[in-house]
């Protein structure tokens, strides 16, 4: 009897031990024991928050006004990355200064790139490189939401039903956003749909919503605009009598202001049509601090700046 009791005791300790190991691996997260998700850009974090609800806690390293092309991981980021249950990043060389860090993390951590869910034929190629700014075509961000859903389920299978429900309702909002953006773009004549910004972040936006797009810098802010770029673009703007240029929240307005001055010296009064959120969302807690809010703000600002009214 005593022996049986001992065996039972040993068995229950072993079983309890196993259970504990499983828990620390994160098989069961809840509102009280949240999954820690770390993302690079805020746009990924926002989608994760919408799908994960209160089972997850999201930290996005790159907040309002931060340029992801130039961002280097800080010491506190590394601490969070090493403790995270799930890491999500864009890829396609957007986070170009974090390549080594992400590469290292991929060997030890649960990490997923959005680029894996975007078919290669969907990607735009500029100067022999894929353009990383995929989020400006809302249909791409629907694909991104699928990647995020899958990653959350893999990390926390017990939350699958909730994640799928949240995802379905968020996808519906993205479909509405895509339609809103298309309809709004159509309110200005095709010949006025020319978008000039500080850097080439809007190629996917242009393809999806019918705009010709010209950025003063290339698809990465790492390369600076040269004086011949300013001259050529100033000629183009003057010739086409483009009404407005747009500054970007994550890029210094200096280059766009120089371009405006160059156009004005050619006798055409081009305006600054407002600030667009390109590679970072607005402040947390504001409408523009969400992906849907940022896209809505951008299309509203662009249409207001390029429409014939008020000129
Ligand atoms: Zn960019």
Query: Over the stretch 128-147, which tens digit does the pLDDT of each residue have?
Result: 999 999 999 999 999 999 99
Specify the pLDDT at position 274.
Answer: 95
Task: For residues 75-92, give the mean pLDDT.
Answer: 97
| Centroid of ligand 1 to alpha carbon of 140 (angstroms) | 16
Task: For residues 283-301, give the mean pLDDT.
Answer: 97
Task: For residues 208-215, give the mean pLDDT.
Answer: 95
| Centroid of ligand 1 to alpha carbon of 58 (angstroms) | 23
Cβ–Cβ < 8 Å for 91, 105:
no
| Centroid of ligand 1 to alpha carbon of 197 (angstroms) | 11
3-state secondary structure the chain: CHHHHHHHHHHHHHHHHHHHHHHHCCCCCCCCCCEEEEEEEHHHHHHHHHHHHHHEEEEEEECCCCCCCCCCCCHHHHHHHHHCCEEEECCCCCCHHHHHHHHHHHHHCCEEEHHHHCCHHHCCEECCEECCCHHHCHHHHHHHHHHHHHHHHHHCHHHHHHHHHHHHHHHHHHHHHHHHHHHHHCCCCHHHCEEEEEECCCHHHHHHHCCEEEEEECCCCCCCCCHHHHHHHHHHHHHHCCCEEEEECCCCCHHHHHHHHHHHCCCCCCEEEEEECCCCCCCCCCHHHCHHHHHHHHHHHHHHHHCCCCC
| Centroid of ligand 1 to alpha carbon of 67 (angstroms) | 7
Specify the pLDDT at position 162.
Answer: 97
| Centroid of ligand 1 to alpha carbon of 30 (angstroms) | 35
Q: Is pLDDT at 13 greater than 50 in this prediction?
A: no
| Centroid of ligand 1 to alpha carbon of 248 (angstroms) | 10
Chain mean pLDDT for the chain: 90
User: From CA 28, how far away is CA 253, in angstroms rounded?
Assistant: 47
User: From CA 146, how far away is CA 142, in angstroms rounded?
Assistant: 7
| Centroid of ligand 1 to alpha carbon of 267 (angstroms) | 31
253 CB-near residues (< 8 Å, 6+ apart): 198, 247, 272
Q: Is pLDDT at 2 greater than 70 in this prediction?
A: no
Confidence class for position 39, pLDDT limits 50, 70, 90:
very high
Specify the pLDDT at position 229.
Answer: 84
Specify the pLDDT at position 187.
Answer: 96
| Centroid of ligand 1 to alpha carbon of 126 (angstroms) | 13
Confidence class for position 5, pLDDT limits 50, 70, 90:
low
| Centroid of ligand 1 to alpha carbon of 258 (angstroms) | 20
Q: Which two tokens stand for residue 35?
A: 């999954």
Confidence class for position 219, pLDDT limits 50, 70, 90:
confident
Q: Is pLDDT at 310 greater than 60 in this prediction?
A: no
More confident residue, 25 or 307: 307
Q: Give φ, ψ of 93 to 5 degrees.
A: 60, 25
| Centroid of ligand 1 to alpha carbon of 106 (angstroms) | 23
Task: For residues 119-133, give the mean pLDDT.
Answer: 95
Q: Which two tokens stand for residue 37?
A: 């998700």
| Centroid of ligand 1 to alpha carbon of 131 (angstroms) | 9
Specify the pLDDT at position 22.
Answer: 38
Specify the pLDDT at position 160.
Answer: 97
Q: How far from each other are the two terminal CA atoms of the chain, in whole angstroms?
A: 95
Q: Is pLDDT at 24 greater than 50 in this prediction?
A: no
285: left (phi over 0), alpha (psi -120 to 50) or beta: left
Q: Which residues surround ligand 1, an ion (CB under 5 A)?
A: 201, 279
Q: Is pLDDT at 14 greater than 50 in this prediction?
A: no
The tens digit of pLDDT for each residue in 179-210 reads 999 999 999 999 999 999 998 899 999 999 99
The tens digit of pLDDT for each residue in 232-278 reads 999 999 999 999 999 999 888 999 999 999 999 999 999 999 999 99
| Centroid of ligand 1 to alpha carbon of 180 (angstroms) | 24
User: From CA 100, how far away is CA 128, in angstroms rounded?
Assistant: 22
């Amino acid at each position: 009897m005593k022996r049986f009791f001992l065996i039972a005791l040993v068995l229950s300790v072993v079983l309890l031990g196993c259970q504990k190991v499983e828990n620390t691996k994160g098989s069961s997260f809840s509102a009280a024991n949240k999954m820690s998700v770390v993302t690079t850009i805020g746009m990924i974090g926002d989608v994760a928050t919408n799908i994960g609800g209160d089972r997850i806690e999201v930290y996005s390293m790159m907040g309002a006004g931060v340029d992801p092309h130039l961002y280097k991981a800080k010491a506190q980021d590394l601490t969070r990355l090493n403790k995270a249950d799930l890491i999500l990043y864009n890829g396609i060389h957007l986070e170009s200064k974090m390549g080594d860090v992400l590469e290292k993390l991929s060997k030890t951590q649960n990490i997923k790139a959005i680029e894996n869910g975007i078919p290669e034929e969907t990607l735009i190629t500029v100067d022999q490189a894929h353009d990383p700014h995929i989020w400006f075509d809302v249909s791409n961000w629907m694909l991104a939401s699928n990647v995020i859903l899958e990653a959350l389920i893999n990390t926390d299978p017990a939350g699958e039903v909730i994640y799928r429900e949240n995802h379905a309702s968020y996808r519906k909002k993205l479909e509405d956003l895509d339609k809103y953006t298309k309809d709004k773009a159509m309110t200005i004549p095709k010949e006025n749909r020319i978008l000039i910004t500080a850097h080439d972040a809007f190629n996917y936006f242009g393809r999806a919503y019918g705009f010709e797009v010209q950025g003063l810098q290339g698809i990465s802010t790492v390369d600076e605009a040269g004086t011949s770029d300013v001259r050529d673009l100033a000629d183009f703007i003057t010739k086409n009598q483009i009404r407005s240029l747009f500054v970007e929240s994550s890029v210094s307005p200096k280059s766009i202001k120089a371009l405006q001055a160059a156009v004005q010296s050619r006798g055409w009064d081009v305006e600054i049509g407002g600030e667009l959120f390109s590679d970072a969302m607005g402040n947390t807690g504001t409408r523009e601090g969400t992906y849907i809010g940022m896209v809505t703000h951008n299309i509203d600002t662009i249409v207001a700046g390029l429409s014939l009214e008020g000129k």
